[in-house]
């Protein structure tokens, strides 16, 4: 069955430090991959997406993600975090299911920033 | 500004009562979705609609109902049959296919059953 795993429930990093949030998926083919960010009590906003082509994709707010087919991963990175990056981050996977399409969200990783 | 408006932001209800959450979009998107968010569980799809007057059940549709009479509106009713309705509900829309299209989210409605 298709699934998305975000193994880290909560991560704390110091302001200015680098960040990597992990995402692994289970799917027989190359899926469509997304990262969304959610500030407390708000909806989700798309950070970046990967469909095909260059496996390193750039997004908004200085984020990037790398698709690694061999590891079934799509990890999110940022070289230097800012206090405003504190939020919850969701990895999502889109795939074709029978004649329809479907998107599955991971359980999220909450990011805290240490001053 | 274009976007998705959900109301109310906070809602309290007594057990046994039905409640309707509003979702309106002015993005001219064809597809609309309702998700439920619980701590540590990510987002789970309740219902979705890809066209007016048509909608499909998602993964956790039991105890919920929807309608799509207008392109811009997709209200969700949480019925008394929903066993555990306390949650954060998110409405989203997309211009086309979910798989390839970005989802645009509202700010959510938090429902608490007393």
Work out the minimum CA distance from A4 to partner chain B, whole angstroms.
10
Q: Out of A1-5, A23-27, B14-18, B43-47, which region has the weakest mean confidence (pLDDT)? A: A1-5
Q: Is residue B104 within a helix (H) or strand (E), and if so which, with residue range? A: strand B104-105
Q: Name every chain A residue with its beta carbon within 8 A of the beta carbon of B100.
A: 32, 51, 94, 101
Work out the minimum CA distance from B79 to partner chain A, whole angstroms.
23
Mean pLDDT, chain A, integer? 91
Contact A29, A52 (CB under 8 A): no
Which of A103, A106, A107, A108 to mutate to probe the B interface, most B CBs <10 Å? Answer: A103
User: Is the per-residue pLDDT at A99 higher than 60?
Assistant: no
Report phi then psi at A71, rounded to 5: -105, 0
Residue A6 pLDDT level (bands cut at 50, 70, 90): very high
pLDDT in tens, chain B (114 residues): 679 999 999 999 998 899 999 999 999 999 899 999 998 788 999 999 988 999 999 989 999 999 999 999 999 999 988 889 999 999 999 887 666 668 899 999 999 998
Is the Cβ pair B106, A43 closer than 8 Å?
yes
Distance CA A107, CA A10 (A): 11
Which of B43, B50, B60, B93 to mutate to probe the A interface, most A CBs <10 Å? Answer: B43
Distance CA A71, CA A34 (A): 16
Classified as helix, coil or strand, A62 is helix
Give the number of other Cβ atoms within 10 Å of residue B94's Cβ.
Answer: 21
pLDDT tens column, A36-78: 999 988 889 999 999 888 899 999 999 999 999 999 999 999 9
Compute chain A's Rg from CA coordinates. 14
């Amino acid at each position: 069955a298709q699934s998305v795993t975000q193994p880290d429930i909560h991560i704390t990093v110091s302001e200015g430090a680098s960040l990597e949030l992990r995402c692994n998926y289970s799917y027989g083919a190359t899926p469509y991959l997304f990262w969304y960010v959610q500030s407390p009590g708000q909806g989700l906003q798309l950070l970046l997406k990967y469909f095909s082509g260059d496996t390193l994709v750039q997004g908004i707010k200085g984020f990037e993600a790398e698709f690694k087919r061999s590891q079934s991963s799509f990890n999110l990175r940022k070289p230097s975090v800012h206090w405003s990056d504190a939020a919850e981050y969701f990895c999502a996977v889109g795939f074709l299911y029978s004649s329809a399409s479907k998107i599955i969200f991971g359980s999220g990783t909450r990011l805290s920033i240490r001053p | 500004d274009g976007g998705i408006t959900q109301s109310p932001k906070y809602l309290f209800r007594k057990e046994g009562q039905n409640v309707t959450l509003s979702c309106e979009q002015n993005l001219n998107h064809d597809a609309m979705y309702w998700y439920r968010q619980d701590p540590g569980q990510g987002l789970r799809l309740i219902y979705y609609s890809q066209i007016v007057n048509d909608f499909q059940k998602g993964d956790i549709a039991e105890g919920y109902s929807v309608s799509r009479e207008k392109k811009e509106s997709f209200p969700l009713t949480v019925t008394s049959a929903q066993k555990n309705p306390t949650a954060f509900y998110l409405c989203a829309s997309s211009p086309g296919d979910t798989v390839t299209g970005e989802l645009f989210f509202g700010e959510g409605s938090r429902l608490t059953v007393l």
